[in-house]
């Protein structure tokens, strides 16, 4: 078992979107992770769509006015996988934390993967009203992939090594991922916990989908941290600097 961590772009946007009441701007990594498991490589989240590099407005619409994007040729998910000697067209497993553009955008580059996603999020993405309220865009995630819809906690290979953890609140069906390495557990929070400060102080964004559920998810993440797991935050540039590119 190995875990590879890398960025698939960077975003700069208003701090107040991530910490209610704060001012100024924040520059954030867009992480993705490859887990090397005996039964196959698993990608957790996919970063930004390659088109963002040359036409952010055309790809993201109004979100391009909210976030400044950085995406180099070597940052797109296909290039990141190729650098790890994984052919994007041969990747078979993708776990999505949720359906936002910076997590699902790279799916188009992975045509033969099976997507594992919480049913609540997938159904929200196909409900016009909910999708609009959540800023879900079907162009990011609806490409005809084989989709495995799950409800709650799910052990991907049945051996406890890669487990989807429901951490609802940011979106209806947000999930994090627990990876059990020989060195210990690593929990990839995605947007259940944007920043270290989010976990330490319960300082939420201004308008999560379900505030109570997000607070409950943070309690679960804290319990995992207190039990010894390494917690990798969703968009924390300072914390990201200390995340190893490879763990085992």
pLDDT of residue 190: 98
What is this structure's pTM? Answer: 0.97
pLDDT of residue 2: 98
* pLDDT tens per residue, range 84-124: 999 999 999 999 999 999 999 999 999 999 999 999 999 99
* Beta partners for residue 6, in sequence order: 32
pLDDT of residue 5: 98
CATH code for 2-247? 3.60.15.10
pLDDT of residue 239: 97
pLDDT of residue 85: 96
The mean predicted confidence, pLDDT, of the chain is 97
Domain ranges of the chain: 2-247
Residue 239 main-chain phi, psi, to 5 deg: -70, -35
pLDDT of residue 73: 94
* pLDDT tens per residue, range 166-202: 999 999 999 999 999 999 999 999 999 999 999 999 9
Pairing of strands 2-14, 25-37: antiparallel
pLDDT of residue 76: 97
Whole-number Å distance between alpha carbons of 173 and 53: 29
């Amino acid at each position: 078992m190995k875990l590879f961590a890398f960025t698939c772009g960077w975003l700069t946007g208003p701090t107040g979107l991530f910490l209610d009441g704060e001012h100024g701007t924040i520059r954030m990594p867009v992480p993705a992770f490859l887990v090397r498991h005996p039964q196959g490589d698993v990608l957790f989240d996919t970063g930004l769509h390659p088109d963002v590099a040359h036409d952010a407005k055309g790809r993201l619409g109004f979100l391009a006015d909210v976030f400044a994007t950085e995406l180099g040729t070597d940052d797109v998910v296909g290039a990141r996988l190729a650098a790890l000697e994984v052919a994007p067209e041969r990747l078979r497993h993708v776990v999505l934390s949720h359906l936002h553009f910076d997590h699902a955008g790279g799916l188009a580059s992975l045509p033969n993967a099976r997507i594992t996603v919480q049913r609540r999020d997938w159904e929200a993405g196909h409900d016009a009203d909910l999708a609009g309220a959540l800023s879900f865009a079907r162009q990011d995630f609806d490409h005809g992939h084989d989709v495995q819809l799950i409800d709650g906690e799910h052990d991907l290979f049945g051996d406890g090594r890669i487990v989807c953890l429901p951490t609802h609140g940011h979106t209806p069906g947000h999930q994090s991922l627990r990876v059990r390495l020989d060195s210990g557990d690593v929990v990839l929070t995605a947007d259940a916990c944007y920043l270290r400060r989010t976990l330490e102080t319960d300082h939420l964004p201004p308008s999560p989908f379900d505030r109570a559920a997000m607070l409950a998810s943070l309690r679960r993440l804290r319990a995992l941290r207190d039990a010894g797991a390494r917690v990798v935050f969703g968009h924390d540039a300072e914390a990201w600097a200390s995340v190893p590119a490879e763990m085992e």
